[in-house]
Amino acid sequence: MFQGKYVFNQVISFISQYEFKECVDEFNGDRGVKKLSCWQQFLTMIFGQLGKRESLRDICICFAAHRRKLYHLGFSDAVKRATLQEANEVRDYRTYERFAYTLIAKARKAYMNDAEFTLELDGAAYALDSTTIELCLAIFPWAKFRTTKSGIKLYTLVDFKGNIPAFVHITSANVSDVKALDVIIFEAGACYVMDRGYLDFSRLYAIHTAGSFFVTRAKHNTKMKRLYSKAVTDEEKKQGIRCDQVVVLTGQKSKKDYSEKLRRIKYYDAEQKRYYVFLTNNFILSAATIAELYRYRWQVELFFKWIKQHLNVQTFWGYSENAVKTQIWVAMATYALVAIVKKKLCLTQSMNEILQILSISLFDKTALIQLFSECDSKTTQEESEKQLILAGF
């Protein structure tokens, strides 16, 4: 029988406490702290995310019920709700932002050769989009964006390899989507896929001059002139390609903002029975690959759906802007941590299944690899029994 660490400790062992301390020191996070250090605050918050706790009170009640185990979980004592709330309100969220990026970098490295992304590209590929999280105006007046509502926007660049968030930017919900392009540092050779909400040619030209590529959709009123067309083969027509053209913009403002040539690709989606018109500055990839890249853009939508369903990013455990950002960055760190555990242990379960198993096992003393292998065996057995029933046995 396994007599080692609790499941929660085993998960946390994938985190470098030394790297976390570097982030704390950078922003003087522990200056003047007597009771709850930044590390203890982080452990408590990540426990809340992994354990699917609904509030700070919920976390504290859970700790109180397992007081004898807290020392072995890495906690000096039961956390008081008021102390934790105050820490979330006043301690610089950038400590947790910086550490989340540290975990994200490790997760991206682990998924560098991810086999699920099948397109062969010379550089990285990202999807950019945003999601709005609505808040109560009376409680979050600092995030007002309508007469009766508050809200924040979560801009995210998702790496197609592993669906890891490579960049996250949090603003008030009234900020225009295209402004996210002003804060991204573009990688030379990387491809950025986005919908037409980000169609701003001066900003797209900044991507072009950075040596990066973009794929987006044209609006119905985008004015352009065809210079010449590339012949579309029968194979490309079967793949949905209708035309592949080199164009220049002719609108008074757009041609000033983007004076270079662009590639226009018209694609027909047989499943949805609709046409798409793509604009890109990449003249090397095939038209079918460009269309496939845009199809992968839905990975960022799936990412938003996943974190809203499985992590706590809509019910907040504090009311200040700092507390909200702290919680979101801890959630991002949790996502990256679960992704690292999945890859390092070569787990076959999905991210959702892994989080579900962890949420009910944090106080167990079972080896992680055994925990997931037993669940996998149980699932296989249940599926076999279902097949036997269907077969009439």
pLDDT at site 381: 43
pLDDT the model gives residue 380: 40
Q: What is the mean pLDDT of residues 195-218?
A: 95
The predicted structure's pLDDT at residue 77: 73
Count of CB atoms situated within 10 Å of the CB of 11? 23
Question: Which residue did the predictor score with more confidence, 26 or 374?
Answer: 26
What is the predicted pLDDT for the residue at 378?
A: 52
What mean pLDDT, rounded, does the chain reach?
89
What CA–CA distance (Å, rounded) separates 320 from 83? 15
Phi, psi of 29 (to 5 degrees): -65, -30
Of 38-52, 250-264, 371-385, where does mean pLDDT reach its minimum?
A: 371-385
pLDDT score of 147 = 83
Task: Give the pLDDT of residue 65.
Answer: 86
Average of pLDDT values for 191-208? 95
Residue 324: per-residue pLDDT: 94
Query: Which pLDDT score is estimated for 391?
Result: 39
Residue 184 pLDDT class (50, 70, 90 cuts) = very high
pLDDT at 14 over 70: yes
Assess whether pLDDT exceeds 90 at residue 126.
yes
In this structure, the dihedral spanned by the alpha carbons of residues 368, 369, 371 and 377, taken in order and rounded to 10 degrees, is 170
The percentage of the chain sitting over the pLDDT mark of 70, rounded to a whole number, equals: 95
Query: What per-residue confidence (pLDDT) applies to 293?
Result: 94
User: Is the pLDDT score of 180 beyond 90?
Assistant: yes
Tokens of 278: 């793509």
Category of 273 on φ-ψ map: left (φ > 0), alpha (ψ -120 to 50) or beta: left
Which strands, in side-by-side order, build the sheet including 262-269?
164-172, 149-159, 125-136, 191-194, 213-217, 274-280, 262-269, 241-249, 224-230
Give pTM, 2 decimals: 0.89
Least reliable range by pLDDT among 109-123, 139-153, 169-183? 109-123
> For residue 122, what pLDDT is reported?
85
Percent of the chain residues topping a pLDDT of 90: 71
Convert the pLDDT of each residue in 337-383 to its tens digit: 999 999 999 999 999 999 999 999 999 999 999 999 877 655 544 44
| Residue 166: other Cβ atoms inside 10 A | 23
Q: Comparing C-alpha atoms, which of 182, 154, 175 is closest to residue 324? A: 154
What is the pLDDT at residue 384? Answer: 40
- Give counts: helices (H), strands (E), the chain: 15, 9
Asked whether residue 202 carries a pLDDT value surpassing 50, the answer given is yes
